[in-house]
Structure 1
Protein backbone atom coordinates (compact mmCIF):
# COMPACT_ATOMS: atom_id res chain seq x y z
CA UNK A 1 0.00 0.00 0.00
CA UNK A 2 1.35 3.44 -0.90
CA UNK A 3 2.38 5.57 2.06
CA UNK A 4 0.08 8.37 0.97
CA UNK A 5 -2.92 6.02 0.99
CA UNK A 6 -1.96 4.57 4.38
CA UNK A 7 -1.66 8.11 5.71
CA UNK A 8 -5.13 8.95 4.38
CA UNK A 9 -6.83 5.99 6.05
CA UNK A 10 -4.94 6.52 9.31
CA UNK A 11 -5.82 10.21 9.55
CA UNK A 12 -9.41 9.73 8.42
CA UNK A 13 -9.94 7.62 11.53
CA UNK A 14 -7.92 9.91 13.81
CA UNK A 15 -9.88 12.99 12.79
CA UNK A 16 -13.23 11.25 13.31
CA UNK A 17 -12.19 9.97 16.73
CA UNK A 18 -10.85 13.39 17.72
CA UNK A 19 -14.08 15.09 16.63
CA UNK A 20 -16.11 12.68 18.76
CA UNK A 21 -13.82 13.14 21.75
CA UNK A 22 -14.13 16.91 21.44
CA UNK A 23 -17.91 16.59 21.36
CA UNK A 24 -17.83 14.55 24.56
CA UNK A 25 -15.63 17.15 26.26
CA UNK A 26 -18.02 19.93 25.25
CA UNK A 27 -20.92 17.92 26.65
CA UNK A 28 -19.04 17.42 29.91
CA UNK A 29 -18.04 21.09 30.08
CA UNK A 30 -21.63 22.14 29.57
CA UNK A 31 -22.99 19.87 32.31
CA UNK A 32 -20.21 20.63 34.77
CA UNK A 33 -20.65 24.36 34.22
CA UNK A 34 -24.28 23.96 35.22
CA UNK A 35 -23.17 22.56 38.60
CA UNK A 36 -20.80 25.44 39.29
CA UNK A 37 -22.15 28.08 41.64
CA UNK A 38 -20.38 31.17 40.36
CA UNK A 39 -19.74 32.65 36.93
CA UNK A 40 -16.01 32.46 37.59
CA UNK A 41 -16.24 28.72 38.30
CA UNK A 42 -18.24 28.20 35.12
CA UNK A 43 -15.63 30.09 33.11
CA UNK A 44 -12.88 27.97 34.66
CA UNK A 45 -14.68 24.81 33.57
CA UNK A 46 -14.86 26.01 29.97
CA UNK A 47 -11.22 27.05 30.15
CA UNK A 48 -10.30 23.52 31.25
CA UNK A 49 -12.10 22.13 28.16
CA UNK A 50 -9.89 24.33 25.98
CA UNK A 51 -6.79 23.17 27.86
CA UNK A 52 -7.74 19.51 27.42
CA UNK A 53 -8.20 19.94 23.67
CA UNK A 54 -4.97 21.94 23.40
CA UNK A 55 -6.79 24.97 22.01
CA UNK A 56 -6.47 27.52 24.81
CA UNK A 57 -3.81 29.61 23.09
CA UNK A 58 -5.64 29.86 19.77
CA UNK A 59 -8.88 30.67 21.58
CA UNK A 60 -7.26 33.45 23.62
CA UNK A 61 -5.97 35.00 20.42
CA UNK A 62 -9.62 35.73 19.53
CA UNK A 63 -11.40 36.07 22.88
CA UNK A 64 -10.65 37.27 26.40
CA UNK A 65 -13.64 35.69 28.18
CA UNK A 66 -14.77 32.08 28.58
CA UNK A 67 -18.54 32.05 28.25
CA UNK A 68 -20.12 28.74 27.25
CA UNK A 69 -21.55 29.67 23.82
CA UNK A 70 -18.35 31.47 22.90
CA UNK A 71 -16.19 28.47 23.78
CA UNK A 72 -18.30 25.72 22.25
CA UNK A 73 -18.86 27.65 19.02
CA UNK A 74 -15.11 28.13 18.75
CA UNK A 75 -14.57 24.40 19.25
CA UNK A 76 -17.38 23.40 16.92
CA UNK A 77 -17.40 25.81 13.99
CA UNK A 78 -14.92 28.71 14.18
CA UNK A 79 -13.65 29.21 10.61
CA UNK A 80 -10.24 30.43 11.73
CA UNK A 81 -9.81 27.39 13.99
CA UNK A 82 -8.23 24.47 12.07
CA UNK A 83 -8.94 22.20 15.04
CA UNK A 84 -12.70 22.83 15.11
CA UNK A 85 -14.98 19.82 14.88
CA UNK A 86 -16.27 20.97 11.49
CA UNK A 87 -12.69 21.22 10.19
CA UNK A 88 -11.81 17.80 11.59
CA UNK A 89 -14.79 16.07 10.02
CA UNK A 90 -14.07 17.84 6.73
CA UNK A 91 -10.45 16.65 6.94
CA UNK A 92 -11.70 13.10 7.60
CA UNK A 93 -13.91 13.33 4.52
CA UNK A 94 -11.02 14.72 2.42
CA UNK A 95 -8.76 11.85 3.48
CA UNK A 96 -11.54 9.34 2.80
CA UNK A 97 -12.01 10.78 -0.67
CA UNK A 98 -8.27 10.46 -1.36
CA UNK A 99 -8.43 6.73 -0.59
CA UNK A 100 -11.95 6.24 -1.95
CA UNK A 101 -10.99 3.14 -3.96
CA UNK A 102 -9.65 1.45 -0.81
CA UNK A 103 -12.89 1.92 1.12
CA UNK A 104 -16.25 0.19 0.80
CA UNK A 105 -19.25 2.21 -0.34
CA UNK A 106 -20.68 2.03 3.18
CA UNK A 107 -17.59 3.61 4.77
CA UNK A 108 -17.39 6.40 2.20
CA UNK A 109 -21.12 7.16 2.26
CA UNK A 110 -21.37 7.35 6.06
CA UNK A 111 -18.31 9.62 6.21
CA UNK A 112 -19.62 11.88 3.46
CA UNK A 113 -23.17 12.01 4.80
CA UNK A 114 -21.92 12.76 8.31
CA UNK A 115 -19.91 15.71 7.03
CA UNK A 116 -22.83 17.09 5.00
CA UNK A 117 -25.18 16.87 7.98
CA UNK A 118 -22.71 18.62 10.30
CA UNK A 119 -21.97 21.27 7.69
CA UNK A 120 -25.67 22.13 7.67
CA UNK A 121 -26.05 22.05 11.46
CA UNK A 122 -22.98 24.26 11.94
CA UNK A 123 -23.77 26.73 9.19
CA UNK A 124 -24.96 29.17 11.87
CA UNK A 125 -23.95 29.80 15.51
CA UNK A 126 -24.98 27.03 17.90
CA UNK A 127 -27.22 27.97 20.83
CA UNK A 128 -27.44 26.12 24.12
CA UNK A 129 -30.88 24.82 23.14
CA UNK A 130 -29.51 23.14 19.99
CA UNK A 131 -26.14 22.04 21.41
CA UNK A 132 -27.40 18.57 22.32
CA UNK A 133 -28.56 17.86 18.78
CA UNK A 134 -25.20 18.94 17.32
CA UNK A 135 -23.18 16.84 19.77
CA UNK A 136 -25.39 13.82 19.16
CA UNK A 137 -24.82 14.10 15.40
CA UNK A 138 -21.03 14.25 15.88
CA UNK A 139 -21.10 11.10 18.01
CA UNK A 140 -23.49 9.43 15.58
CA UNK A 141 -21.16 10.10 12.65
CA UNK A 142 -18.22 8.46 14.41
CA UNK A 143 -20.33 5.49 15.45
CA UNK A 144 -21.72 4.92 11.96
CA UNK A 145 -18.33 5.09 10.28
CA UNK A 146 -16.81 2.67 12.79
CA UNK A 147 -19.77 0.34 12.28
CA UNK A 148 -19.32 0.48 8.50
CA UNK A 149 -15.61 -0.27 8.87
CA UNK A 150 -16.24 -3.21 11.20
CA UNK A 151 -19.10 -4.59 9.14
CA UNK A 152 -17.90 -4.20 5.56
CA UNK A 153 -14.10 -3.88 5.33
CA UNK A 154 -11.68 -6.70 4.64
CA UNK A 155 -9.29 -7.32 7.54
CA UNK A 156 -6.35 -6.07 5.48
CA UNK A 157 -3.84 -3.23 5.72
CA UNK A 158 -6.52 -0.58 5.14
CA UNK A 159 -8.51 -1.85 8.10
CA UNK A 160 -5.38 -2.10 10.24
CA UNK A 161 -4.22 1.46 9.54
CA UNK A 162 -7.71 2.75 10.26
CA UNK A 163 -7.94 0.95 13.60
CA UNK A 164 -4.44 2.03 14.62
CA UNK A 165 -5.41 5.65 13.96
CA UNK A 166 -8.58 5.29 16.02
CA UNK A 167 -6.90 3.76 19.06
CA UNK A 168 -3.86 6.03 19.07
CA UNK A 169 -6.20 9.02 19.09
CA UNK A 170 -8.41 7.45 21.75
CA UNK A 171 -5.49 6.61 24.06
CA UNK A 172 -4.11 10.13 23.74
CA UNK A 173 -7.52 11.63 24.48
CA UNK A 174 -8.19 9.50 27.57
CA UNK A 175 -4.76 10.34 28.99
CA UNK A 176 -5.25 14.09 28.42
CA UNK A 177 -8.75 14.12 29.92
CA UNK A 178 -7.61 12.26 33.02
CA UNK A 179 -4.53 14.47 33.39
CA UNK A 180 -6.47 17.74 33.19
CA UNK A 181 -9.64 16.76 35.04
CA UNK A 182 -8.45 14.48 37.85
CA UNK A 183 -7.00 17.06 40.22
CA UNK A 184 -9.65 19.63 39.41
CA UNK A 185 -12.26 17.19 40.67
CA UNK A 186 -10.45 15.77 43.69
CA UNK A 187 -13.08 15.97 46.42
CA UNK A 188 -12.85 18.61 49.10
CA UNK A 189 -13.69 17.69 52.68
CA UNK A 190 -16.83 19.82 52.43
CA UNK A 191 -18.63 17.58 49.99
CA UNK A 192 -17.01 14.14 50.00
CA UNK A 193 -19.72 11.55 49.39
CA UNK A 194 -22.35 14.18 48.63
CA UNK A 195 -24.60 14.15 45.58
CA UNK A 196 -22.40 16.88 44.05
CA UNK A 197 -19.32 14.70 44.56
CA UNK A 198 -20.93 11.81 42.67
CA UNK A 199 -22.24 14.06 39.90
CA UNK A 200 -18.78 15.51 39.25
CA UNK A 201 -17.08 12.12 38.97
CA UNK A 202 -19.94 10.67 36.96
CA UNK A 203 -19.60 13.56 34.51
CA UNK A 204 -15.87 12.91 34.15
CA UNK A 205 -16.61 9.28 33.29
CA UNK A 206 -19.20 10.45 30.77
CA UNK A 207 -16.45 12.35 28.93
CA UNK A 208 -14.95 8.98 28.00
CA UNK A 209 -18.29 7.16 27.72
CA UNK A 210 -17.39 5.12 30.79
CA UNK A 211 -19.97 5.95 33.45
CA UNK A 212 -22.15 2.88 32.90
CA UNK A 213 -19.21 0.48 32.52
CA UNK A 214 -17.57 1.82 35.70
CA UNK A 215 -20.80 1.42 37.65
CA UNK A 216 -21.16 -2.18 36.51
CA UNK A 217 -17.64 -3.03 37.68
CA UNK A 218 -17.65 -0.99 40.90
CA UNK A 219 -21.28 -1.11 42.10
CA UNK A 220 -21.58 2.63 41.48
CA UNK A 221 -18.97 3.66 44.09
CA UNK A 222 -17.28 6.88 42.91
CA UNK A 223 -13.74 6.39 44.18
CA UNK A 224 -11.19 8.79 42.61
CA UNK A 225 -8.34 6.28 42.77
CA UNK A 226 -10.59 3.56 41.36
CA UNK A 227 -11.58 5.81 38.47
CA UNK A 228 -7.93 6.43 37.62
CA UNK A 229 -7.25 2.69 37.68
CA UNK A 230 -10.31 2.06 35.50
CA UNK A 231 -9.23 4.59 32.85
CA UNK A 232 -5.61 3.45 32.79
CA UNK A 233 -5.45 -0.27 33.51
CA UNK A 234 -8.86 -1.87 32.96
CA UNK A 235 -8.52 -4.45 30.18
CA UNK A 236 -12.27 -4.57 29.46
CA UNK A 237 -13.01 -0.89 29.01
CA UNK A 238 -12.56 0.12 25.32
CA UNK A 239 -11.17 3.57 26.13
CA UNK A 240 -8.65 2.64 28.80
CA UNK A 241 -4.97 3.10 28.03
CA UNK A 242 -4.27 -0.63 28.32
CA UNK A 243 -7.17 -1.60 26.06
CA UNK A 244 -6.22 0.93 23.38
CA UNK A 245 -2.62 -0.25 23.31
CA UNK A 246 -3.69 -3.88 23.08
CA UNK A 247 -5.78 -3.07 20.01
CA UNK A 248 -2.93 -1.07 18.47
CA UNK A 249 -0.72 -4.10 19.10
CA UNK A 250 -3.07 -6.54 17.36
CA UNK A 251 -3.39 -4.32 14.29
CA UNK A 252 0.35 -3.62 14.18
CA UNK A 253 0.85 -7.40 14.26
CA UNK A 254 -1.50 -7.62 11.29
CA UNK A 255 0.64 -5.14 9.37
CA UNK A 256 3.83 -7.02 10.26
CA UNK A 257 2.30 -10.24 8.98
CA UNK A 258 1.11 -8.63 5.76
CA UNK A 259 4.40 -6.85 5.03
CA UNK A 260 6.62 -9.64 6.34
CA UNK A 261 8.65 -7.38 8.61
CA UNK A 262 8.63 -5.22 11.71
CA UNK A 263 10.05 -1.72 12.14
CA UNK A 264 11.09 0.56 15.02
CA UNK A 265 7.44 1.33 15.76
CA UNK A 266 6.85 -2.29 16.77
CA UNK A 267 9.71 -2.14 19.27
CA UNK A 268 8.37 1.10 20.75
CA UNK A 269 4.93 -0.42 21.06
CA UNK A 270 6.24 -3.56 22.78
CA UNK A 271 8.08 -1.46 25.36
CA UNK A 272 5.02 0.68 26.10
CA UNK A 273 2.69 -2.30 26.37
CA UNK A 274 5.09 -4.10 28.71
CA UNK A 275 5.31 -1.06 30.95
CA UNK A 276 1.52 -0.74 31.13
CA UNK A 277 1.05 -4.41 32.01
CA UNK A 278 3.78 -4.37 34.65
CA UNK A 279 2.55 -1.30 36.50
CA UNK A 280 -0.12 -0.96 39.20
CA UNK A 281 -2.19 2.00 40.26
CA UNK A 282 -0.14 2.19 43.48
CA UNK A 283 3.08 2.40 41.47
CA UNK A 284 1.59 5.12 39.29
CA UNK A 285 0.49 7.23 42.25
CA UNK A 286 3.78 6.75 44.08
CA UNK A 287 5.67 8.14 41.08
CA UNK A 288 3.00 10.76 40.31
CA UNK A 289 -0.12 10.45 38.19
CA UNK A 290 0.63 13.61 36.21
CA UNK A 291 4.18 12.46 35.49
CA UNK A 292 2.95 9.05 34.36
CA UNK A 293 0.34 10.54 32.03
CA UNK A 294 2.72 13.08 30.55
CA UNK A 295 5.21 10.32 29.79
CA UNK A 296 2.45 8.20 28.27
CA UNK A 297 1.27 11.06 26.04
CA UNK A 298 4.84 11.66 24.91
CA UNK A 299 5.32 7.96 24.09
CA UNK A 300 2.06 7.90 22.14
CA UNK A 301 3.18 10.87 20.03
CA UNK A 302 6.52 9.12 19.49
CA UNK A 303 4.75 5.92 18.44
CA UNK A 304 2.59 7.81 15.94
CA UNK A 305 5.68 9.40 14.39
CA UNK A 306 7.43 6.03 14.21
CA UNK A 307 4.45 4.46 12.42
CA UNK A 308 4.45 7.33 9.91
CA UNK A 309 8.17 6.81 9.29
CA UNK A 310 7.98 3.01 9.08
CA UNK A 311 5.16 3.05 6.55
CA UNK A 312 6.31 6.17 4.69
CA UNK A 313 3.18 8.23 5.22
CA UNK A 314 4.67 11.33 3.58
CA UNK A 315 5.37 9.67 0.22
Structure 2
Protein backbone atom coordinates (compact mmCIF):
# COMPACT_ATOMS: atom_id res chain seq x y z
CA UNK A 1 0.00 0.00 0.00
CA UNK A 2 1.34 3.46 -0.96
CA UNK A 3 0.62 6.68 0.87
CA UNK A 4 -1.48 9.67 -0.07
CA UNK A 5 0.17 13.10 0.20
CA UNK A 6 -1.14 16.58 1.02
CA UNK A 7 0.76 19.83 0.32
CA UNK A 8 0.22 23.15 -1.47
CA UNK A 9 1.54 25.50 -4.10
CA UNK A 10 2.11 28.99 -2.59
CA UNK A 11 1.04 32.31 -4.06
CA UNK A 12 4.42 33.80 -3.11
CA UNK A 13 7.43 31.53 -2.54
CA UNK A 14 9.22 34.23 -0.57
CA UNK A 15 6.52 34.68 2.05
CA UNK A 16 7.13 32.88 5.32
CA UNK A 17 3.87 31.26 6.36
CA UNK A 18 2.90 28.90 9.14
CA UNK A 19 -0.27 27.11 8.16
CA UNK A 20 -1.66 24.68 10.72
CA UNK A 21 -3.20 21.55 9.22
CA UNK A 22 -5.91 19.42 10.84
CA UNK A 23 -7.13 16.30 9.04
CA UNK A 24 -10.36 14.37 9.54
CA UNK A 25 -10.74 10.97 7.87
CA UNK A 26 -13.94 8.92 8.07
CA UNK A 27 -13.67 5.43 6.58
CA UNK A 28 -17.20 4.08 6.09
CA UNK A 29 -17.94 0.37 5.64
CA UNK A 30 -21.66 -0.35 5.36
CA UNK A 31 -23.05 -3.90 4.92
CA UNK A 32 -25.01 -4.58 1.76
CA UNK A 33 -26.63 -7.95 2.48
CA UNK A 34 -24.86 -10.77 0.65
CA UNK A 35 -23.11 -8.33 -1.69
CA UNK A 36 -19.86 -6.46 -1.16
CA UNK A 37 -20.06 -3.73 1.49
CA UNK A 38 -20.38 -0.07 0.54
CA UNK A 39 -17.05 1.65 1.27
CA UNK A 40 -15.90 5.24 0.94
CA UNK A 41 -13.60 7.72 2.65
CA UNK A 42 -14.56 11.24 3.77
CA UNK A 43 -11.66 13.70 3.92
CA UNK A 44 -11.89 16.84 6.07
CA UNK A 45 -9.11 19.43 5.72
CA UNK A 46 -8.82 22.41 8.07
CA UNK A 47 -6.21 25.10 7.34
CA UNK A 48 -5.56 27.91 9.80
CA UNK A 49 -4.54 30.43 7.11
CA UNK A 50 -5.11 30.15 3.37
CA UNK A 51 -3.90 33.60 2.24
CA UNK A 52 -0.70 32.27 0.65
CA UNK A 53 -2.15 29.01 -0.71
CA UNK A 54 -2.62 29.20 -4.45
CA UNK A 55 -3.54 25.53 -4.87
CA UNK A 56 -4.12 22.79 -2.31
CA UNK A 57 -2.91 19.42 -3.62
CA UNK A 58 -3.80 15.84 -2.75
CA UNK A 59 -1.96 12.91 -4.31
CA UNK A 60 -3.53 9.45 -4.52
CA UNK A 61 -1.32 6.48 -5.49
CA UNK A 62 -3.85 5.23 -8.03
CA UNK A 63 -5.70 6.75 -10.97
CA UNK A 64 -8.82 8.54 -9.74
CA UNK A 65 -11.92 8.99 -11.86
CA UNK A 66 -13.43 12.45 -11.63
CA UNK A 67 -16.82 11.08 -10.57
CA UNK A 68 -15.17 9.17 -7.69
CA UNK A 69 -14.10 12.40 -5.93
CA UNK A 70 -16.67 14.97 -4.82
CA UNK A 71 -17.22 17.88 -2.47
CA UNK A 72 -19.77 16.82 0.18
CA UNK A 73 -20.27 20.08 2.09
CA UNK A 74 -23.79 20.24 0.67
CA UNK A 75 -24.66 16.95 2.39
CA UNK A 76 -24.45 18.45 5.89
CA UNK A 77 -24.09 22.23 5.87
CA UNK A 78 -27.85 22.91 6.00
CA UNK A 79 -28.39 20.61 9.01
CA UNK A 80 -27.12 22.26 12.17
CA UNK A 81 -27.39 19.08 14.24
CA UNK A 82 -25.21 17.25 11.70
CA UNK A 83 -22.64 20.05 11.65
CA UNK A 84 -22.44 19.86 15.43
CA UNK A 85 -22.17 16.05 15.29
CA UNK A 86 -19.32 16.16 12.76
CA UNK A 87 -17.25 18.58 14.84
CA UNK A 88 -18.51 17.36 18.23
CA UNK A 89 -19.33 20.95 19.24
CA UNK A 90 -22.48 23.03 19.59
CA UNK A 91 -22.12 25.10 16.41
CA UNK A 92 -24.42 27.17 14.25
CA UNK A 93 -24.06 28.01 10.56
CA UNK A 94 -24.32 31.45 8.98
CA UNK A 95 -24.39 31.89 5.21
CA UNK A 96 -22.16 34.70 3.97
CA UNK A 97 -22.50 36.84 0.86
CA UNK A 98 -20.76 34.07 -1.06
CA UNK A 99 -22.90 30.97 -1.38
CA UNK A 100 -19.72 28.88 -1.40
CA UNK A 101 -18.63 29.98 2.07
CA UNK A 102 -20.34 29.41 5.43
CA UNK A 103 -19.39 30.87 8.80
CA UNK A 104 -19.31 28.52 11.76
CA UNK A 105 -19.99 30.15 15.14
CA UNK A 106 -20.02 28.72 18.65
CA UNK A 107 -22.66 28.98 21.37
CA UNK A 108 -21.36 32.46 22.27
CA UNK A 109 -21.81 33.56 18.65
CA UNK A 110 -18.05 33.83 18.21
CA UNK A 111 -16.51 33.09 14.80
CA UNK A 112 -14.68 29.74 14.75
CA UNK A 113 -13.91 28.98 11.10
CA UNK A 114 -15.32 29.00 7.56
CA UNK A 115 -16.56 25.97 5.67
CA UNK A 116 -15.91 26.39 1.96
CA UNK A 117 -17.86 24.47 -0.69
CA UNK A 118 -15.80 23.94 -3.83
CA UNK A 119 -17.35 23.59 -7.26
CA UNK A 120 -16.31 21.46 -10.24
CA UNK A 121 -14.38 24.40 -11.67
CA UNK A 122 -12.21 24.46 -8.52
CA UNK A 123 -10.93 20.91 -9.12
CA UNK A 124 -8.45 19.69 -11.72
CA UNK A 125 -7.02 16.18 -12.06
CA UNK A 126 -3.45 15.37 -13.11
CA UNK A 127 -2.39 11.81 -13.90
CA UNK A 128 1.21 11.78 -12.58
CA UNK A 129 3.63 9.59 -10.64
CA UNK A 130 1.61 6.40 -11.20
CA UNK A 131 -1.37 8.05 -9.55
CA UNK A 132 -3.48 11.22 -9.52
CA UNK A 133 -2.88 14.70 -8.15
CA UNK A 134 -6.09 16.62 -7.43
CA UNK A 135 -5.51 20.38 -7.49
CA UNK A 136 -8.01 22.39 -5.43
CA UNK A 137 -8.46 26.15 -5.79
CA UNK A 138 -9.34 27.65 -2.41
CA UNK A 139 -10.05 31.19 -1.11
CA UNK A 140 -7.05 33.33 -0.11
CA UNK A 141 -7.95 34.45 3.41
CA UNK A 142 -6.23 35.06 6.74
CA UNK A 143 -8.79 32.94 8.55
CA UNK A 144 -9.32 29.23 9.14
CA UNK A 145 -11.06 27.40 6.30
CA UNK A 146 -12.45 23.88 6.28
CA UNK A 147 -13.07 21.63 3.26
CA UNK A 148 -14.70 18.20 3.05
CA UNK A 149 -14.57 15.67 0.23
CA UNK A 150 -15.56 12.06 -0.40
CA UNK A 151 -13.63 9.50 -2.42
CA UNK A 152 -14.81 6.05 -3.48
CA UNK A 153 -14.00 3.47 -6.14
CA UNK A 154 -10.67 1.80 -6.88
CA UNK A 155 -8.66 3.78 -4.32
CA UNK A 156 -10.86 2.58 -1.45
CA UNK A 157 -10.57 -1.01 -2.64
CA UNK A 158 -6.77 -0.65 -2.69
CA UNK A 159 -6.72 0.25 1.02
CA UNK A 160 -7.94 -3.13 2.23
CA UNK A 161 -7.42 -6.85 1.78
CA UNK A 162 -9.98 -9.51 2.68
CA UNK A 163 -9.26 -13.07 3.80
CA UNK A 164 -11.11 -15.87 5.57
CA UNK A 165 -10.16 -17.60 8.85
CA UNK A 166 -8.04 -20.71 8.26
CA UNK A 167 -8.54 -22.44 11.59
CA UNK A 168 -12.03 -23.73 10.91
CA UNK A 169 -13.95 -24.70 7.77
CA UNK A 170 -17.24 -23.67 9.36
CA UNK A 171 -15.86 -20.34 10.61
CA UNK A 172 -14.41 -19.49 7.21
CA UNK A 173 -17.80 -20.13 5.65
CA UNK A 174 -19.59 -17.60 7.82
CA UNK A 175 -17.00 -14.87 8.46
CA UNK A 176 -14.28 -12.83 6.78
CA UNK A 177 -11.28 -10.84 7.99
CA UNK A 178 -10.37 -7.47 6.52
CA UNK A 179 -7.20 -5.43 7.02
CA UNK A 180 -7.25 -1.68 6.25
CA UNK A 181 -3.91 0.09 5.78
CA UNK A 182 -4.13 3.89 5.37
CA UNK A 183 -1.13 6.25 5.27
CA UNK A 184 -0.64 10.00 4.91
CA UNK A 185 2.62 11.71 3.87
CA UNK A 186 4.70 8.57 4.44
CA UNK A 187 7.97 9.53 2.72
CA UNK A 188 9.17 5.95 2.17
CA UNK A 189 5.98 5.13 0.23
CA UNK A 190 6.01 8.15 -2.11
CA UNK A 191 7.48 8.47 -5.59
CA UNK A 192 10.86 10.28 -5.56
CA UNK A 193 9.82 12.67 -8.34
CA UNK A 194 6.67 13.49 -6.37
CA UNK A 195 8.78 14.22 -3.28
CA UNK A 196 10.88 16.66 -5.31
CA UNK A 197 7.75 18.49 -6.44
CA UNK A 198 6.48 18.65 -2.86
CA UNK A 199 9.80 20.08 -1.63
CA UNK A 200 9.85 22.74 -4.36
CA UNK A 201 6.38 23.80 -3.24
CA UNK A 202 5.28 23.75 0.43
CA UNK A 203 4.90 20.83 2.81
CA UNK A 204 2.25 20.81 5.52
CA UNK A 205 2.86 19.48 9.01
CA UNK A 206 -0.08 17.68 10.57
CA UNK A 207 -1.10 19.31 13.85
CA UNK A 208 -4.00 16.87 14.39
CA UNK A 209 -5.29 13.87 12.52
CA UNK A 210 -8.58 12.26 13.48
CA UNK A 211 -9.36 8.89 11.91
CA UNK A 212 -12.80 7.32 12.32
CA UNK A 213 -13.70 3.82 11.22
CA UNK A 214 -17.49 3.53 10.90
CA UNK A 215 -18.90 0.04 10.53
CA UNK A 216 -21.82 -2.21 11.46
CA UNK A 217 -22.29 -3.25 15.07
CA UNK A 218 -21.79 -6.82 13.81
CA UNK A 219 -18.19 -6.07 12.81
CA UNK A 220 -15.55 -6.96 15.41
CA UNK A 221 -12.32 -4.99 15.75
CA UNK A 222 -9.61 -7.62 16.32
CA UNK A 223 -6.42 -5.61 15.72
CA UNK A 224 -5.18 -2.04 15.30
CA UNK A 225 -1.96 0.00 15.21
CA UNK A 226 -2.75 1.56 18.58
CA UNK A 227 -5.71 1.51 21.02
CA UNK A 228 -8.67 3.59 19.85
CA UNK A 229 -9.64 6.62 21.91
CA UNK A 230 -13.37 6.02 21.87
CA UNK A 231 -16.21 4.09 20.29
CA UNK A 232 -19.72 5.46 19.98
CA UNK A 233 -23.02 4.63 18.36
CA UNK A 234 -24.03 6.87 15.46
CA UNK A 235 -27.72 7.65 15.23
CA UNK A 236 -28.68 6.33 11.79
CA UNK A 237 -31.68 8.68 11.45
CA UNK A 238 -29.23 11.58 11.55
CA UNK A 239 -26.60 10.19 9.21
CA UNK A 240 -28.60 8.30 6.55
CA UNK A 241 -28.98 11.26 4.16
CA UNK A 242 -25.35 12.18 4.65
CA UNK A 243 -24.26 8.63 3.80
CA UNK A 244 -26.51 8.76 0.75
CA UNK A 245 -27.42 5.07 0.48
CA UNK A 246 -31.07 4.06 0.33
CA UNK A 247 -32.77 1.41 2.45
CA UNK A 248 -30.21 1.23 5.24
CA UNK A 249 -32.31 2.80 8.00
CA UNK A 250 -32.12 -0.38 10.07
CA UNK A 251 -28.33 -0.31 10.25
CA UNK A 252 -26.62 0.46 13.55
CA UNK A 253 -23.22 2.13 13.10
CA UNK A 254 -20.27 2.11 15.47
CA UNK A 255 -17.56 4.77 15.09
CA UNK A 256 -14.04 3.96 16.35
CA UNK A 257 -11.76 6.97 16.82
CA UNK A 258 -7.96 7.32 16.64
CA UNK A 259 -5.97 10.55 16.97
CA UNK A 260 -2.43 11.69 16.07
CA UNK A 261 -0.89 15.05 17.03
CA UNK A 262 2.09 17.06 15.76
CA UNK A 263 3.35 14.57 13.20
CA UNK A 264 4.79 14.84 9.70
CA UNK A 265 3.15 11.58 8.63
CA UNK A 266 0.55 9.17 9.98
CA UNK A 267 -0.36 5.50 9.48
CA UNK A 268 -3.54 3.71 10.48
CA UNK A 269 -3.82 -0.09 10.48
CA UNK A 270 -7.11 -1.81 11.36
CA UNK A 271 -8.03 -5.49 11.33
CA UNK A 272 -11.67 -6.53 11.61
CA UNK A 273 -13.78 -9.67 11.53
CA UNK A 274 -17.26 -9.65 10.04
CA UNK A 275 -19.88 -12.37 10.47
CA UNK A 276 -21.68 -13.14 7.21
CA UNK A 277 -24.74 -14.77 8.76
CA UNK A 278 -27.17 -13.80 6.02
CA UNK A 279 -29.86 -16.03 4.53
CA UNK A 280 -28.01 -16.50 1.25
CA UNK A 281 -24.91 -17.85 3.02
CA UNK A 282 -26.96 -20.02 5.37
CA UNK A 283 -29.05 -21.41 2.49
CA UNK A 284 -25.96 -22.17 0.43
CA UNK A 285 -24.39 -24.23 3.19
CA UNK A 286 -27.69 -25.89 4.09
CA UNK A 287 -27.97 -27.10 0.48
CA UNK A 288 -24.35 -28.23 0.59
CA UNK A 289 -25.00 -30.13 3.83
CA UNK A 290 -28.12 -31.76 2.32
CA UNK A 291 -26.23 -32.88 -0.79
CA UNK A 292 -23.40 -34.20 1.34
CA UNK A 293 -25.89 -36.12 3.51
CA UNK A 294 -27.50 -37.67 0.41
CA UNK A 295 -24.10 -38.72 -0.95
CA UNK A 296 -23.15 -40.29 2.38
CA UNK A 297 -26.50 -42.11 2.51
CA UNK A 298 -26.10 -43.45 -1.04
CA UNK A 299 -22.54 -44.51 -0.34
CA UNK A 300 -23.62 -46.23 2.88
CA UNK A 301 -26.38 -48.14 1.04
CA UNK A 302 -23.95 -49.16 -1.70
CA UNK A 303 -21.38 -50.28 0.84
CA UNK A 304 -24.02 -52.22 2.79
CA UNK A 305 -25.21 -54.01 -0.38
CA UNK A 306 -21.65 -54.80 -1.33
CA UNK A 307 -20.88 -56.35 2.05
CA UNK A 308 -24.17 -58.18 2.09
More helix by share: 1
TM-score scaled to structure 1, two decimals?
0.27
Task: Name the structure with the higher strand share.
Answer: 2
Length-normalised TM-score, structure 2: 0.27
Higher Cα radius of gyration: 2
